Structure 1
Amino acid sequence: MKRLLIKNFGPIEDAHLTLGQVNIITGMQSSGKSCVLKTACYCSWVEKRLELTQKVNGLGKGSTFIDVMADYYKMNGYVQDDTYIEYETRHMKFSYDHSSKTFKMNWKSKRWDYRRPKVSYIPTDRNLVAAIPGWSLLSMDGNMIEFMSDWDKARRFVKREENFLDLGMSYSYDSMSNSDKIRLENGTPLMLRESSSGVQSLLPMYVHLDYLVNGQYKDRNGQISYEQKEERKNLLSTIYNRLKGKEDVLHAESVTLEGYDYSFSNREEAERFRALYNRYINVEHSEIFLEEPENNLFPPTQCKFINWLLDAIQEHDDMLFIATHSPYILNQLIKIAPKDMNVLFTYRSSDAERMYSVKQLTEDEVREIYDNGVDMFFNFELYV
């Protein structure tokens, strides 16, 4: 379980969120849904950096915490004089107060139970990878660049998707021409950029998600940089110094990792060290932040996609946070998601300044939303 607090950031005046495995946020356009989604994703990434380095590093210097986020997502105009962000998990708690340019962080009792995730934000303009030839040469914000890099890695590994979502179409990646191809149900071949807007929006999302929830656990051929190697060495040293104890005792057990030998007094210590290494170095689950999966999709296809995604995230207990305008996405999630799914609504909290807050629905309110279906979207003010 994660807890996120946002105050006076972009259009968000106040948001107190509790996040579980499956989360969904909806509300009017320009009411801060993407702002909440990006803040949650960034805080998850910060938690990962703090755990892997075991240090605050530059994040503790002045306004670095918010500057990195604003630059990455191109949200510089969102930062206000009294912006405040607080994030808490079982492993740590940190906060940033822009009024004093102060970042604070405290470890919690479950610090060493951390399990490394792949943190991924899937933007609403993902169809650019299909619509624009030579997209890798364009100048874009850091979030879009990272998504395109992840998409490129995913398509090269996945290579083919047969009859995806039972739509009668198949996808393939041609490494020789570096191109993406679609074969329609009647056998007609198309380049991805020649396909419908729905397919151009769906395919990059589907292939990337298939890699996140399945392919990455089979793809062990990735190269790591010198900086990543140094990070691993420093992390191993920190873990080793914590486990080996202060006394210089007989070294009865030895473990070799990343080209270094680590000696321990007994097998139990050595196995604990190896287990911690595996949890920190190997990705154990994904944390997926998905923006408007309904883009250009026929309502039944939206429901098929949600069915597939909720089933896919169960194998590795992946975390899912969706921002949407679609009543079909919302109702399908309520229908088949876990009972503890979190449903969030943005609502106008200050008419004068056009600021919004976030309401987290109770189980009874979630059931009422499901019972009313599409009508809820036309009587939105009654529910918030």
Structure 2
Amino acid sequence: MRTLDIYNFGPIKQTHLELQKINIFIGPQSSGKSCILKTLCHCAWAEKLLMVTHDVNMFAQDEYFLKQLLAFHKMYGYESTNTKISFSSSFLSFTYDNSTKSFECEFKKSNTNRFKRAKLSYIPAERNIVSIIPNIMTLSLRQDNTQSFIVDWDKARNKFATSQMNVVNVGVTYHFDDKSKTDFVKLPTGKDIELTNASSGVQSVVPLLVHIESLTNRTYDNDLRDSATIIQNKNCLERLYKSRIKDTKNAKVTTRISDDLYYFKTKEDAEEFKIIAENYTEYRYSDIYIEEPEENLFPNTQCDLLKSLVSSLGDNQLTIATHSPYMLSTFNNFILAGQIDKKRTCNSIALKAGTYAVYYIEDGIATDIVDKETKLINAEKLDAVSFDIQNEFNKLLGYDEDCR
């Protein structure tokens, strides 16, 4: 379990989150859903970098933690004098306090060997920019979450130069022409059109699905070869090796990792260290953050998209910020399917209790809306807007306000 506490940051006043494998944030416009999503993603990035480098001083100097958050996630102006962010996982706990400009971190050394490096991906609401602007890779963009997504998208779409992808239930398929560097969708008539000429829903969902496919199928093995990362990984392995191997005088076994030889007394020690080394230096799973996955989609397609996202998740992690009660109701069906006989699930996805968290964000506060007894989502939060509309309808007819 990971926990996140945010104080006085953007629209968030004070909130505590207990996070699981799948997390959903829902609430009114500008309530703070994306603020939480971005902050959590940033904390996951900080956790990964701290575990690999153990360089707390880097985050403590010159407000590095906060400055990186504001720049990468385009959140300038969200900070205040009293902003405070605390994060805790199985591997470490850290707190940034803007009132003192301090960053404090404590490592949980007993869990060091269990760490696995995550491929982090923030998929922003403006992801359809890759559909709207042809040859977007030729443009010079700022180093932020949009630019990072564009780079990942460009890598992911190359897989579909030799295959096609069905686009949920919209009746089209996607493919990429690597010669012209052009994205196409095939219509039900069999005709190809450029993605930039497709409907707004297709332009929004194709970049999302293409990237998710690469993340959940782990086609990112070669993403760690830049010079800075190579140096980081080399230093990380040396630190891990020194912390485990105190004496190599009687070493009889050698193993090669990242072009370097390491010495061990037994074959078992060598194999164990190699697994730990790979977990630190290679991506072992994806940690995915999606802003408004329902963007420009009809309700039925929203539901099918969520089914696609959750069914393909495997042992990866997923966190979503959404406005859609349809997605929330669909997710509640997944929860219920996990509680009843499989024969009655109508081919629904089944989720186990303890693998998900759902929070309603309003007035700067996050409220856990999963019922402690039933483990289902609080019915009043599933579609509060529909209740308000129905109340207005009842008033127009002269019915009692509470008649539902």
TM over 0.5: yes
Q: After superposition, give the CA deviation of every residue in 1:341-384 in whole Å (9 maximum; x if it has no partner).
A: 21101122xxxxxxx1111124258636348743465459x9xx
Matches within 5 A, 1:318-329: 318-329=316-327
Distance 1:300 1:287 in 2: 26
Matched, 1:272 2:287: no
Residue 203 of structure 1, CA deviation: 0.1
What does residue 340 of structure 2 align with? none
Letter in 1 for 2:383: V
Q: Structure 1 residues 49, 74: CA separation in 2 closer, same or farther (over 3 Å shift)?
A: same
* 1:326–1:93 Cα change, 3 Å: same
In structure 1, distance between residues paired with 2:233 and 2:48: 13
Specify the alignment match of 1:351 in structure 2.
none
> What amino acid sits opposite 2:98 in the alignment?
H
SS in 2 for 1:127: helix
Equivalence for 1:23: 23
Matched, 1:330 2:328: yes
Residue 271 of structure 1 aligns to a residue whose secondary structure is helix
Which residue in the other structure is 1:150 paired with? 152
Q: SS at 2:83's partner residue? A: strand
Residues 99/242 of structure 1: CA separation in 2 closer, same or farther (3 Å cut): same
Q: Are the equivalent residues in 2 in contact too, given 1:26–1:325 (CA < 8 A)?
A: yes
Q: Is the CA contact (8 Å cut-off) linking 1:165 and 1:305 kept in structure 2?
A: yes
Preserved contact between residue 334 and residue 366 of structure 1 (Cα < 8 Å)? no
Aligned 8 A contact 1:62 1:102 in 2: no
Distance in 2 (alpha carbons) for counterparts of 1:79 and 1:375: 31
What amino acid is aligned across from residue 171 of structure 2 in structure 1? Answer: G
Checking the alignment, whether the CA contact within 8 Å between 2:371 and 2:378 is kept in structure 1 is: no
Alignment of structure 1 residues 1-384 onto 2, 5 Å? 1-108=1-108, 109-136=110-137, 137-140=139-142, 142-159=144-161, 160-216=163-219, 220-222=221-223, 224-245=225-246, 247-314=247-314, 317-337=315-335, 338=351, 339-340=353-354, 341-348=356-363, 356-364=364-372, 367=376, 369-370=378-379, 373-375=382-384, 378-379=387-388
Deviations 1:226-252 (A, max 9, x none): 21211121111111111212x343111
Structure 1 residues 334-343 or 114-123, which shifts more? 334-343
Say which SS state the counterpart of residue 49 (structure 1) adopts: helix
Per-residue deviation, 1:260:
1.0
SS of equivalent residue, structure 2 residue 378: helix
The RMSD of aligned alpha carbons is 2.0
Cα deviations by residue, 1:16-42 (Å, 9 ceiling, x for unpaired): 001101110111111111000000000
With 359-368 and 18-27 compared, the bigger mean Cα shift is at 359-368
Query: Cα 1:114–1:194, aligned 2, differ >3 Å: closer, same or farther?
Result: same
Q: Offset of 1:146 from its aligned partner?
A: 0.1
Taking the aligned partners of 1:14 and 1:343, their CA distance within structure 2 comes to 17
Taking the aligned partners of 1:271 and 1:45, their CA distance within structure 2 comes to: 28
Aligned residues: 369
**How has the CA–CA distance of structure 1 residues 281 and 150 changed in structure 2, closer, same or farther, with 3 Å as cutoff?**
same
SS at match of 1:208: helix
Structure-2 change in CA distance of 1:248 and 1:255 (3 Å): closer
Q: Distance in 1 between matches of 2:271 and 2:160?
A: 34
TM-score where L is the length of structure 1: 0.91
Query: What's the secondary structure of 2:126's corresponding residue?
Result: coil
Question: For 2:261 and 2:87, how far apart are their aligned partners in 1?
Answer: 37
C-alpha distance 143-272 of structure 1, shift in aligned 2 (>3 A):
same
Identity of aligned residues (%): 34
Hey, what's the Cα distance between the residues in 2 that align with 1:142 and 1:89?
25
Q: Secondary structure at the match of 2:127?
A: coil
Residue 138 of structure 1 deviates from its aligned partner by 4.5
8 Å Cα contact 1:95-1:105 kept in structure 2 = yes
Aligned to 2:394: none
**What is the aligned partner in structure 2 of residue 353 from structure 1?**
none
Matched residue SS, 2:105: strand
Gap runs ≥5 in structure 1: 349-355
